[in-house]
Amino acid sequence: MIGWLALGLQASALAFVTSFTVSTVTAPLATLMRRSRARAARRADAAFLLGVLPMVTGASLVGAMVLPSILHVTGLRLDHCDLHSHHAHLCALHAEPASPLLLLAGLALTLVAGARALRLASRQFRASRAVSNLERLGARSEGPFPVTRVPGSPWVCLATGIWHPRVVLSASLEQALGTEGLDAALAHEHAHLERRDPALRVALAWAGLWALPTAASALESAFRDAAEEASDAEAAQVHGPLALAAALVSMARLPRPMPSMVSLGLGDTSLERRVQVLVSGVPAATRSWSLPTATGLIVGGLVVSFLSAEPLHHAVETLLHGWH
């Protein structure tokens, strides 16, 4: 058990250092994406993929470090330690002393990641509960996506839900936006749900635990802004850009105290830029490829980790031996 714990801590240290390093490279790209003239859906896809890349890198490295010992225990493949006796080993099966530095770093980084995960889970739970409590006050109407109309304030028009996508709407907001503006607003929220943006945002927040906090925040912000513009483009194709721009301006004047950790609201971000894009013409709408591409990236990382576990494992051991 002690050998497995030591291996896990050392692998965690190496994985977090690697994923943090990757995040320092991906984070500056968030600024470049904001300035890009690429279609919003493509910028959202890029921000999401860059946001999950540190996680894929770190998790793949953990797999490569732990897999040889697991395969040896299960009898699927002999451990390679006996073939490389000239250096120390990251292994759960040998009594070789572990690096104190790696053990301490792994313990510290794991505790920090655990604290960040608890904080994130708490924030998302509170946000989800607030939305659910608000929905209990309203009445649901069915359609392509259910719409729950809630009475009075707060003034909300948001897309939410991972397993059960839906829109939450203040009934009193209909009067503020008017029929044309409300139709455009609902089309915007439906576009978020078709793109699976609420689920992608939650996934991106959890993937950010593998990145430096500043890097994770920058990429989450880049994704949110691009996703809003991409949904604007979808709604503008149907209801016209001016109707949606007017709805955005109206929403910006209203108090919106709802949490946004698990949802995306009509007027959440980048009002000036979004209105400028809309009034300059009908923005081009493009399908989101975030989910299938991210799934391919994760599966690819797992496959590479499995197929290259032994050479990657040995390369890390050799690097650590040279460093010592």
Q: With the C-alpha atoms ordered 98, 100, 106, 111, is the resulting torsion angle positive or negative?
A: positive
Q: Which residues contact 159 (CB under 8 A, 6 or more apart)?
A: 145, 165, 166, 167, 189, 190, 192, 193, 197, 198, 263, 264, 265
Q: Which residues contact 177 (CB under 8 A, 6 or more apart)?
A: 185, 247, 250, 251
CA distance 61 to 13: 10
Q: What angle is formed at CA 162 by the lines to CA 157 and CA 163, rounded to 5 degrees?
A: 120
> What is the extent of the structural domain holding 170?
2-323
| Cα–Cα distances in angstroms (integers) from residue 212 to residues 18, 44, 251, 316, in the given order | 11, 20, 33, 22
3-state secondary structure of 153: coil
Tokens of 170: 């203040």
Provide the pLDDT for residue 322: 47
Burial group, residue 181, by CB count within 10 angstroms (0-12, 13-18, 19+): buried
Provide the domain count of the chain. 1
Provide the pLDDT for residue 88: 60
pTM score, whole prediction: 0.85
Provide the pLDDT for residue 134: 86
3-state secondary structure of 84: coil
Provide the pLDDT for residue 295: 84
Those residues of the chain that have pLDDT short of 50 are 322, 324
- Write the pLDDT tens digit of every residue in 176-201: 888 888 999 999 999 999 999 999 99
Provide the pLDDT for residue 317: 64
Backbone angles phi, psi at 160, to 5 degrees: -150, 170
